[in-house]
Amino acid sequence: MPHFASDIQIASATAEHLDAICNIENTCFLTPWTKDAVQSEISDIGWSRTIVALRESQVLGYCLYWLVADEIQLLKVAVHPQYQRKGVGGSMLQHIIHDGLSKKIHSITLELRASNPAARRLYEKLNFQVTGIRRGYYTDTGDDALLMDFTFPSAPEKTDS
């Protein structure tokens, strides 16, 4: 697995991180989630997980994902533009992959704007594969969504019962 930034701490997001996460959300996305929506995910004690990448307590980025049955559904990966392409996103994704390994997860799935080649390169560097496309998925721009999956090497084949 590729090596990413080593001076970054990955931690579970808390209410104290909310404003920084929302700032990144509003900076990075054309159609950002509301503060209430982000707060709801941070405080969810069910399947929702939100992690932050920190350097000296400053939030550089965050990932929001759901742990559902034997799958991780990656909903949001965002890094403040000032820290993009410096290993922050990769460090968070490696953390999620390690979390999945420890929980015997089968796969990680995500949707990615087809117009975001930098993110696609990062996912592919981590062995995610494009498995499909949803035409016109993003209603704000009409962009297509690429469906990407990461299957854990030790995961048994899924079978329909």
pLDDT, one tens digit per residue, over 86-103 is 999 999 999 999 989 888
Find the mean pLDDT for residues 122-128: 95
The answer to whether residue 87 is domain-embedded is yes
| Ramachandran angles phi, psi of 125, nearest 5° | -60, -30
Tell me if 8 sits within 8 A of 60, measured CB to CB.
Answer: yes
Residue 104 is part of a domain; what is its CATH number?
A: 3.40.630.30
What are the residues facing 107 on neighbouring strands? Answer: 71, 151
**128 is a domain residue:** yes
Name the DSSP class of 119: H
Any domain includes 34: yes
Q: Is residue 57 part of a domain?
A: yes
Question: What band does 62 get if pLDDT is binned at 50, 70 and 90?
Answer: very high
CB hemisphere CA count around 56 (13 angstroms): 0
Q: State the pTM of this model.
A: 0.89
Residue 129 belongs to domain spanning:
9-151
Number of domains in the chain: 1
Q: Are the CB atoms for 47 and 67 separated by under 8 Å?
A: yes
| Largest interatomic CA distance in the chain | 48
